[in-house]
Amino acid sequence: MSHPQADCTAYVFTPDSEIWRVNRYACGLLFGPAAVLLQVAHPRVAQGVADHSDFRQDALRRLRGTLSTVNRIAFGTREEAEQLRARMTAIHGRVRGEISSGMHGPQSYSAFEPDLLLWVLATLIDASIKGYEFSWGPLPDGRREILYRDFRRFGSYFGLGEDHGPADYTAFAAYFAGMLANDVLGSHPLCAAIATSVVRPPNPLRDRMLGKLSDFLAIETLPAHLRDRLGLRSTPWTRLRMTILRRSAPTAFRFLPKRLTYYPESYRAEKALKLL
């Protein structure tokens, strides 16, 4: 559907773009926890998180901040996106250090490593597609290809060059499958320690309670072999909650008000463009 009445020239992406169409609804949240666990399953990412963030003490606040930044670029203006680019460049510039004993690869790490940036972006792409299909049905190959191109442009705001990594969606799917099969993910104890703090936050009380309610999302959407490596366990209780969600999510996203099913950032953007 086109929106000729909306002046979208100030925005990074338009409401007709695939990144907007796929991600305007908050169904990506269903696979968001798994995306975070996949990110920290990479030992070098886990090292940066352990050294430069407060994941262990306030994991969900950090996750909310990351999600807000992602959505403010996807549904924001070019001016807002450039401000966020500058802010993230400054923050990431401080994320560097030495890896722990037992980790493979160069002894020093940096948040600007292209392969790490690509992996983080890949987990976001995967979560977006799976969340959409969980709620709305299969995403055709043609739309996946366009979505991938949108995400590569999106990734440039995080410092990842559009020419680094898979050139198209088919190559991306092969890359992602190869990463999941690679022994590097979850290969260091630090990965499991941070994953546990994400699924079951130790503090504050509000997040501990939320973790008990939502732990099944991460547990049941992770590949089984990685779930085992990260020390997480599927149980009848987690599987039952996932089954209930699988049956109810498509109906909820179709019939609940958009104010409840959109991300706040996409809702505000579409309201500003007079699309709601």
Q: What is the 3-state secondary structure (H, E, C) of 125-172?
A: HHHHHHHHHHHHCCCCHHHHHHHHHHHHHHHHHHCCCCCCCCCCHHHH
Distances (CA, A) of 137 to 104, 131, 218, 246, 251: 39, 10, 21, 12, 12
Tell me which DSSP letter residue 101 carries. T
pLDDT for the residue 159: 93
Tokens of 142: 């043609």
Tell me which DSSP letter residue 77 carries. B
- Cβ atoms of residues 10 and 82 within 8 Å: no
pLDDT for the residue 62: 66
- Cβ atoms of residues 130 and 38 within 8 Å: no
* Distance separating alpha carbons of residues 19 and 157, to the nearest angstrom: 14
Distances (CA, A) of 230 to 101, 185, 192, 198: 18, 9, 4, 11
* Distance separating alpha carbons of residues 276 and 271, to the nearest angstrom: 5
Domain boundaries, the chain: 18-271
pLDDT for the residue 67: 84
- Cβ atoms of residues 118 and 160 within 8 Å: yes
The residues, ordered by sequence, that sit 6+ positions from 129 with a Cβ below 8 Å of its Cβ are: 22, 139, 144, 147
Q: pLDDT 10s per residue in the chain (276 long)?
A: 444 456 788 999 999 999 999 999 999 889 998 999 999 999 999 999 999 887 666 666 667 777 888 999 999 999 999 999 999 999 889 999 999 999 988 999 999 999 999 999 999 999 999 999 999 999 999 999 999 999 999 999 999 999 999 999 999 999 999 999 999 999 999 999 999 988 988 777 777 787 888 899 999 999 999 999 999 999 999 999 999 999 999 999 999 999 999 999 999 999 999 998
Q: Going along the chain, which residue ranges are E strands?
A: 96-98, 108-110
pLDDT for the residue 200: 86
For 134, phi then psi, to 5°, come to: -60, -35
